[in-house]
Amino acid sequence: MSDMEKIEVDALVVGSGIAGLQSALDMADQGLSVVIVEKRPSIGGKMISLSKVFPTLDCASCITTPRMASVSHHPRITTLTYSTVDAIKRENGVFTAAVTRKPRYIDEKECISCKRCEDVCPVYLPDEYEEGMGAKKAITIPFTNAIPQLPVMDPEHCIRCGACARACPKDCIDFLQQPAPVEIKAKAVILATGYETTPMTAKKQYGMAKLPNVISPMAAERLLAPHGPYGRVLRPSDGMVPGSIAYVQCAGSRDKSIGVPYCSRVCCMYAIKQAILLSGSLPIADITIYYMDIRAFGKGYEQFYNNARAMGINFVKAKVARITEDEKHNPILRIERQEGSSAPEEVKHELVVLSQGLRPGDDVSRYGLGAELNDFGFVKLSDETVSSAVTAGAGVFAAGVSKGPRDIPDSVVDAGSAAMEAISYIRKL
């Protein structure tokens, strides 16, 4: 294809979560040209869908949106959203990445983000941004703060009624749009591929995702978000306001049986944060956190934990052996206390959050960049005692959770150092 889109830059950043955004900004602000490739329709990663963030409880989107805006306005940063990196090869010190722009079925250059297509679309679908709670249209801008503000059409559910095409003032709708290949040439690559949470089905004793009122922490984030799907905290099975809520810690971490023996570092703190937010929105609710050790190790975290206890959140050191439910879908936890008394007991709650752990967001070994992975699929550093970003692959650096679980402050701090390693590598080329 002769008219294939080609981009030549200093550095390619894979992933646009907070680590990817920050490393791109740190490089571009020092004069490098950068391209970011993001598989989702908006930049911003996981952080943009969080409610508030520990330990300061500032709103996640208030912190992420300015970063997203700086990236999108930066003269030296190009962002390819809704695009996948299919392959990267390195020859004579230059990386060539094959990227595919997935079709949004609109003309991205002409669209003015007016949402008229979305307003008139008659097809409603579960909204994955709201973790399946709430509805979206078959053509939609993925969420309010999305960047770019471009709608994406779901071709599988679109009924080709043409309402969107008629409503569009710029004649942007293109039902026949095809995936478009892009070739990127870069001197360095930063992997900022982030994480996925461990699956809700990881532990078969925990209901295998079939209990409606046993939810993921990401769903809880959406329930707590000021602009969430219901505008308040309701439990999924019957829309009731839950009076008793429990967190099961280490539901996807510190557990060899599910292949995640490591600590995911963030779960104690996000559970405490959600508990604090819940007790704000549901003042009479009873909130319990079942845990092994509370790991409040960051700056201001222990004080945050102490505040949660002072607010009356119950911390119970216990192992949760099994979760079932009663006929009203109230989850029943079989717990073995590790303090107080020894006999196993059953406790009923109205809503349960499984504190899932983190696992790699992408298998970066498929690119064949020479960057090695550790036993759990995270990117391994060549010598972590002297650098926090250099991998075994020449010109390949890692930022944020791609190397292993870390929270937002640690990821932001990490990103700058990855940018610095890439800059110094390029300078020496």
Partner 1 sequence: MDEKIKEEASKDNYRQEPKVGVYICHCGGNISDVVDVKKVAEELSKYPGVTVAREYPFMCSSNGQDLITEDIKNLGINRTVVAACSPSLHDLTFRGVLQRAGVNPYLHEHVNIREQDSWVHKLDHAGATAKAIKLAQAGVEKVRRKDPLNAIRVAAEQRVAVIGGGVSGMRAALSAAGKGLEAVILEKGPRLGGKLLDLGRLYPSGEEASAVVKKLEDLVRADKKITVHTDADIDFVGGFVGNFKINFKLPGGKSQQVKAGAIVMATGYEHYKPYKGEFGYGEAANVLTLPEFISLMKKLPAGRLEYGGREIKSLALIHCVGSRQVEGVHKPQADGKINDYCSRVCCTAAINTANQIKEKYPGVRIYDVYRDIRTYGMMHESYYEQASKNGVLFFRHTETDQPVVTSDRTGHNVKVKDVLTWGEELEFKADLVVLVTGLVPSDISLIKSQMKMPSSADRFLQEVHLKLRPVELANAGIFIAGAAQYPMDSTEAMASAGTAASKAGILLAEPDIPLEPFVAVVDEKKCTGCGLCPAECSYDGALTMSEKNGKKVAVVNPALCKGCGACVAVCEPRAIDVAGWTLAQFDAMVEAIAKE
Partner 2 sequence: MPPNKKKILIITTNHSSYPGADAVGQARLAYEANTYIIRVPDPVMFPEDFYLGAFDKGIGGIIIMSSGSDCPYEGAYERLSKRVARVYEKMKARGIKADRLKLTTICTVCRAAFLKEISEMEKAVAAA
Residues 289-328 that bind partner 1 (CB under 8 A): 293-303, 306, 317
Min dist CB 372 to partner 2, Å, is 41
Q: Does 412 bind partner 1 (CB under 8 A)?
A: yes
Min dist CB 59 to partner 2, Å, is 6
Q: Which one, of 140, 141, 139, 136, lies nearest residue 125 by Cα?
A: 136
Q: Which residues of 254-286 are buried (b: 16+ CB within 10 A; e: fewer)?
A: bbeebebebbbbbbbbbbbbbbbbbbeebeebb
Compose the 107-136 pattern: x for residues touching partner 2 by CB under 8 A, - for all others.
--------x---------------------
CA-to-CA distance for 288 and 198, rounded, in angstroms? 22
Min dist CB 260 to partner 2, Å, is 33
Q: Does 280 bind partner 2 (CB under 8 A)?
A: no
Q: Which one, of 374, 5, 409, lies nearest residue 398 by Cα?
A: 374
Q: Say if CB 224 and CB 51 are below 8 A apart.
A: yes
Q: Say if CB 192 and CB 415 are below 8 A apart.
A: yes
> Which partner from the list partner 2, partner 1, none does 409 bind, CB cut-off 5 to 8 Å by kind?
partner 1
Question: 226 has which bridge partners?
Answer: none
Min dist CB 427 to partner 1, Å, is 6
> Which partner from the list partner 1, partner 2, none does 298 bind, CB cut-off 5 to 8 Å by kind?
partner 1
Nearer to partner 2, 62 or 112 (CB): 62
Binds partner 2 (CB under 8 A): choice among 144, 205, 303, 314: 144
Mapped onto helix, strand or coil, the DSSP state of residue 185 is strand
Nearer to partner 1, 188 or 215 (CB): 188
Residues binding partner 2: what is the number (CB under 8 A)?
10
Tell how far CA 143 is from the center of its chain: 14
Nearer to partner 2, 115 or 380 (CB): 115
Rounded-to-10 torsion of CA 212, 284, 281, 313: -80
DSSP for residue 123: -
Nearer to partner 2, 230 or 297 (CB): 230
Residues binding partner 1: what is the number (CB under 8 A)?
71
Nearer to partner 1, 53 or 214 (CB): 53
DSSP for residue 155: T
Tell how far CA 158 is from the center of its chain: 27
Binds partner 1 (CB under 8 A): choice among 169, 226, 312, 370: 169
Mapped onto helix, strand or coil, the DSSP state of residue 246 is strand
Looking at 100-108, 183-191, 255-263, 321-329, which segment touches partner 1 (CB under 8 A)?
255-263
At 398, give phi and psi (nearest 5°).
-125, 140
Q: Does 74 bind partner 1 (CB under 8 A)?
A: no
Mapped onto helix, strand or coil, the DSSP state of residue 54 is coil
Binds partner 1 (CB under 8 A): choice among 20, 55, 217, 331: 55
Nearer to partner 1, 160 or 428 (CB): 428
Nearer to partner 2, 25 or 423 (CB): 25
Residue 180: exposure state from Cβ atoms within 10 A (0-12, 13-18, ≥19): middle
Q: Does 106 bind partner 1 (CB under 8 A)?
A: no
DSSP codes joined into one string, 285-347: -EEEEEES-----STTHHHHHHHHHHTT-EEEEEEEEEEEE-TT--EEEEEEESSS--S-EEE
Binds partner 1 (CB under 8 A): choice among 99, 192, 271, 423: 423
Residues 224-243 that bind partner 2 (CB under 8 A): 226-227
Residues 41-80 that bind partner 2 (CB under 8 A): 58-59, 61-62, 65
CA-to-CA distance for 397 and 399, rounded, in angstroms? 7
Q: Does 300 bind partner 2 (CB under 8 A)?
A: no
CA-to-CA distance for 280 and 413, rounded, in angstroms? 30
Min dist CB 311 to partner 2, Å, is 19
Residues 357-416 that bind partner 2 (CB under 8 A): none
Nearer to partner 2, 61 or 356 (CB): 61
Residues 180-239 that bind partner 1 (CB under 8 A): none
> Which partner from the list partner 2, partner 1, none does 227 bind, CB cut-off 5 to 8 Å by kind?
partner 2
Mapped onto helix, strand or coil, the DSSP state of residue 135 is strand
Compose the 348-387 pattern: x for residues touching partner 1 by CB under 8 A, - for all others.
--------------------------x-x-x----xxxxx
Count CB-CB contacts under 10 A for residue 39: 18
Tell me which H or E stretch contains 165: helix 163-167
Tokens of 13: 């950043």
Residues that bind partner 2 (CB under 8 A): 58-59, 61-62, 65, 115, 144-145, 226-227
